[in-house]
Chain A
């Protein structure tokens, strides 16, 4: 499978009244065609910021993208998204990269019909006129499982339930048959049962349309049923990346291990306590010269305090940014 997105050394900072926030400190990853990539991490670890930076959805006065590359191998050719003009970027957004956001309640304009909001993107990218857009919009609604799409097309967002609204968002995201859909915590605000439905919908659409999906979440449970590969973020960096099975069975970064241990499992002994990771995440206001996880790590040693660990290649697809080898329980000698 070919790669459609290659991000290298992405650096984003926010200039606020409280100081400079070093949100992203050199993030790199790839995305292949049709793949499902999950991005996990705590709030503030940079998962959303990295995706939004790539497409220029970072609020510009406080935020600045200060370095890196985002090569997009789209159907129109290859380009560095970070160096596109606004106009060119607008062609990509919605047309080749679609988005689903977290809160369907607030992500739709309350005073416009959802049909209108779907048609907007169809008109913009596919040049459809009113009637064509409407016909296509109704088809899309049916595709995402909205009953009575002809009628619902003219409804307003408040007339839908949360799960339905998210389906509408998904319809908007895939309307122009993009190559990538970036979903930023799409199920976090939904009930568990609805969550499952939305995940299924994504899978179905992916099979049908061949889109690659980047799924941002802080919920490791969701990842297991959905992703091909996983990126783990901490302190504005990628600290581990692996195929999903590898991640769960052989986590190599202490943070990942901590996350997994904190998950309640059905096969766990009842009396075992849930282990949480001690300490708090870094505040991102100071540029670090050491491993961001050093303060909370059980395996920390001298070197961790003086250098930032790079991503070591430990398997075909598996990388871990740690000086300590968890499997072999010894310090790496790279």
Chain B
């Protein structure tokens, strides 16, 4: 298993480099990164001066090396809007986004797992059809729109939750729910199909042939195997939520990385947008790595192979 660990870590490092390369390449691709990074009102002279100061006139390979070195030291450039290093600004927002994503994931799991389990155990039943319809709905409703509608209904008309901000305990409920909704849909489907698949496996028949109690079979064989196969998905979904919170955070004024991203786009603060992109990508890569390692620990075939 050690070999597997090392291979995966190595793979993640490569991905990391790939991301840097991608971002680097995309910016340079426009031909003139300097004008991207400067505000729209800058004069050509200012832009030229900036270009020289940033070293955009140097050969590409030299630029790349210096760029990677800077990134590895945590220097992701300076925010144009705040005129201060970008990375600390992003890091400051990290906890809020993690909190939101964690809550959303929790809600998603709590709702989708039971529905998926029941649906998979009794396919074709009324409950199953209802569950699948809800899952479908969850995947067909745009989260930014739902966010707005829920504000309208629950915050403004009913007054159950605060409209924006994160100062109260209950503030996390609406945005968390909305963020977790697409995950809910996906997770319900996957749980359901995992249950169906496991139920059809021969070892379940063997378990029945041993005369074990149905509940024992359900827990020790069905649930165990189903949850193992869901672990990797859950990890990936968490990463998806971390990276896709821009709309929700903007709508609910939740002070996380997503809100910062939305603002940065509005300010044309290109460096900040870039910094957020790189940072969140790295977090997601790290998360995927952790998920894979956790899965390896759970599945004995990988553990001992």
The chain A residues found within 8 Å of chain B, CB to CB, are: 55, 57, 61, 86, 89-95, 98-99, 101, 103, 106-112, 120-121, 124-125, 156, 158-159, 169, 172
In the complex, the chain A residue whose C-beta lies closest to that of B122 is A61
Q: Separation in Å of the A109 CB from the closest CB of chain B?
A: 4
The answer to whether A158 and B301 have CB atoms under 8 Å apart is: yes
Q: Which residues from chain B contact A125 at a C-beta distance below 8 Å?
A: 211
Contact B205–A94 (Cβ < 8 Å)? no
Chain B 124-139 interface residues, beta-carbon cutoff 8 Å to A? 124
Q: Is the CB of A111 within 8 A of B225?
A: yes
Chain A residues in 8 Å Cβ range of B207: 109, 120
Nearest chain A CB to B29 CB, angstrom units? 47
Question: Which one of A92, A94, A108, A159 contacts B203 once the chains associate, using CB atoms below 8 Å?
Answer: A108
- Are A172 and B220 CB-contacts (below 8 A) given A101-B205, A107-B205? no
B202 touches A159 (CB 8 A): no
Structural contact, A92 and B211, CB atoms closer than 8 A: yes
Given contacts A112-B220, A156-B300, A158-B301, whether A107 and B203 have CB atoms under 8 Å apart is yes
Q: Does any Cβ of A come within 8 Å of B58's Cβ? A: no
The complex places the Cα of A325 from the Cα of B205 at a distance, in Å, of: 42
Task: Please pick, from B202, B213, B299, the residue contacting A124 in the complex, using a CB distance under 8 A.
Answer: B213
* Chain A nearest CB, measured from B276 CB (Å): 39
CB <8 Å contact, A94 and B300 = no
Q: Which of A89, A106, A124, A158 touches B210 (beta carbons < 8 Å)?
A: A124
Complex contact A91–B211 (CB within 8 A): yes
Contacts of B209 in A (CB 8 A): 55, 57, 93-94, 98-99, 101
Task: Indicate if the CB atoms of B225 and A121 lie closer than 8 Å.
Answer: no
Smallest CB separation, A222 vs chain B (Å): 21
The answer to whether B211 touches A107, judged by C-beta atoms less than 8 angstroms apart, is: no
B297 CB to nearest chain A CB (Å)? 12
CB distance from B122 to the nearest CB of A (A): 9
Interface residue ranges, B against A (CB under 8 Å) = 124, 201-203, 205-214, 216, 220-221, 224-225, 228, 298-301, 304-305
CA distance A120 to B209 in the complex (A): 12
Taking CB as reference atom, which chain B residue is nearest A61? B124
User: Of A106, A112, A120, which is within 8 A of B201 by CB?
Assistant: A106
Whether A101 touches B202, Cβ cut-off 8 Å, given contacts A109-B207, A172-B210, is yes
Question: CB-CB < 8 A to A107: which residues of B?
Answer: 202-203, 205-206
Contact of A120 among B212, B304, B305 (CB under 8 A): B212
Q: How far is the CB of B305 from chain A (nearest CB, A)?
A: 7
A120 nearest CB across to chain B (Å): 6
A297 to B298, CA, bound (A): 56
Say yes or no: A93 contacts B300, CB within 8 Å.
Answer: no
Contact with A121, one of B124, B201, B212, B221 (Cβ below 8 angstroms): B212
Whether B221 lies near A109 (C-beta < 8 A) is yes
On chain B, the residues within 8 Å of A120 by CB distance are 207, 210, 212, 216, 220
A-B CB contact pairs (8 Å), 23 listed: A57-B209, A86-B214, A93-B209, A93-B210, A94-B209, A98-B209, A101-B205, A101-B209, A106-B201, A106-B203, A107-B206, A109-B207, A110-B203, A111-B298, A111-B300, A111-B301, A112-B220, A112-B221, A120-B207, A120-B212, A124-B210, A158-B301, A172-B210
A94 in contact with B304 given A103-B202, A107-B205, A109-B221 (CB within 8 Å): no
**Apart from A120-B210, A120-B212, A125-B211: 6 A-B pairs, beta carbons within 8 A:** A57-B209, A93-B208, A94-B209, A106-B201, A112-B220, A112-B221
| Cross-interface CB contact of B206 among A61, A89, A108, A111, cutoff 8 Å | A108
B202 touches A106 (CB 8 A): yes
Given contacts A110-B300, A156-B300, contact A57 B205 (CB under 8 A): yes
- Are B202 and A94 closer than 8 Å at their CB atoms? no
Which residue in chain B gives the minimum CB-CB distance to A105?
Answer: B202
Q: How far is the CA of A124 from the CA of B212 in the complex (A)?
A: 6
| Known A107-B202, A108-B203: A94·B210 in contact at CB below 8 Å | yes
Whole-angstrom CA separation of A14 from B202 in the bound complex: 19
Task: State the CA gap A93–B201 with chains docked (Å).
Answer: 19
Q: How far is the CB of B77 from chain A (nearest CB, A)?
A: 47
Closest to B212 in A: A124
Of all chain A residues, which has the CB nearest B300?
A: A156
Q: What residues of B have a CB within 8 angstroms of the CB of A98 in the complex?
A: 209
Contacts of A99 in B (CB 8 A): 206, 209-210
Which of A90, A101, A109 counts the most B-chain CB atoms under 10 A from its CB?
A: A109
> Of the candidates B206, B210, B216, B304, which one forms a contact with A156 in the assembled complex, judged by CB atoms under 8 Å apart?
B304
Q: Which chain B residues lie closer than 8 Å to A103 at the CB level?
A: 202
Which chain B residue lies CB-closest to A155?
B304
A121 to B208, CA, bound (A): 10
Nearest B residue to A96, CB-CB? B211
Residues of B within 8 A of A55 (CB): 209
Could you tell me if B225 and A94 are in contact, using CB atoms closer than 8 angstroms? no
Name the A residues within 8 Å of B304 (CB-CB): 156, 159
Max count, chain A CB within 10 A of own CB: residue among B210, B224, B228, B298: B210
Report the minimum CB–CB distance from B230 to chain A (whole Å).
13
Q: CB < 8 Å: which of A90, A92, A112 contacts B212? A: A90
Closest residue of A by beta carbon distance from B299 = A111
In angstroms, Cα B207 to Cα A181, docked, is 15
Q: Collect the chain A residues with CB atoms within 8 Å of residue B202's CB.
A: 101, 103, 106-107
Query: Which chain A positions have C-beta within 8 A of B210?
Result: 93-94, 99, 120-121, 124, 172
- Taking CB atoms, residues of chain A closer than 8 Å to B214 are 86
Contact status of A109 and B225, CB under 8 A, knowing A101-B205, A101-B206, A156-B304: yes
Q: How far is the CA of A93 from the CA of B208 in the complex (A)?
A: 8
CA distance A91 to B228 in the complex (A): 30
Nearest CB in chain A: distance from B165 CB, A: 45
List residues of chain B with CB within 8 A of the CB of A93. 208-211
Closest chain A CB from B88 CB (angstroms): 44
Contacts A107-B203, A108-B203, A109-B225 hold; do A94 and B301 have CB atoms under 8 A apart?
Answer: no
